[in-house]
Amino acid sequence: MLIAFLVGMMIGRVFDPPRLRIEDAEAWEQGLQLWFNREPQAQAEHVDGALVYRYEDAYGRVREGQLKLPLGLVNWRVERDGRDLLLVLVSPRPLDGEWRGAQEDGRWRARLTLRPK
């Protein structure tokens, strides 16, 4: 029985999707472009005037930067929150965002278009 349990656990691991990983983040003309190892699922929320996207059970390097957009300067950072990663966007004006994603070269590219709320 123990051997059947262990074999079942190993087979289950083979079919589990890999943990979400943010591989790169870069500016583009309308916002921010992120590269992932697989399709991301993000939860958006407004916290203390910032637009925050939460990626559950994800990992990646902590990083930050600044975007120069027609709506003004936007500071962004990727930070840890337990097992989750947060993408925090701060601007003098309240922000709203729209994601567009596509698979490209075995990775997932997600473009976040930012606009005033």
Query: pTM above the 0.75 mark?
Result: yes
Q: For 75-116, write each residue's pLDDT tens digit.
A: 999 999 988 999 999 998 888 889 898 998 889 999 999 988
Cα–Cα distances in Å, from 101 out to 6, 16, 19? 37, 22, 18
The answer to whether 74 and 95 have CB atoms below 8 angstroms apart is yes
Residue 78 lies in a domain: yes
Strand partners, 46: 51
> Residue 14: pLDDT band by 50, 70, 90 thresholds?
low
Looking at the structure of the chain, the number of domains it has is 1
Residue 67 lies in a domain: yes
d(CA 90, CA 97) in angstroms, rounded, equals 12
Residue 19 lies in a domain: no
Residue 27 lies in a domain: no
Residue 15 lies in a domain: no
Residue 3 lies in a domain: no
Residue 75 lies in a domain: yes
Question: What is the mean pLDDT of the segment spanning 17-45?
Answer: 89
Percent of all residues in the chain with a pLDDT value above 90, rounded to a whole number? 41
- Taking the alpha carbons at both ends of the chain, their separation in whole angstroms is 58
Residue 28 lies in a domain: no
Domain of residue 51, residue span: 41-116
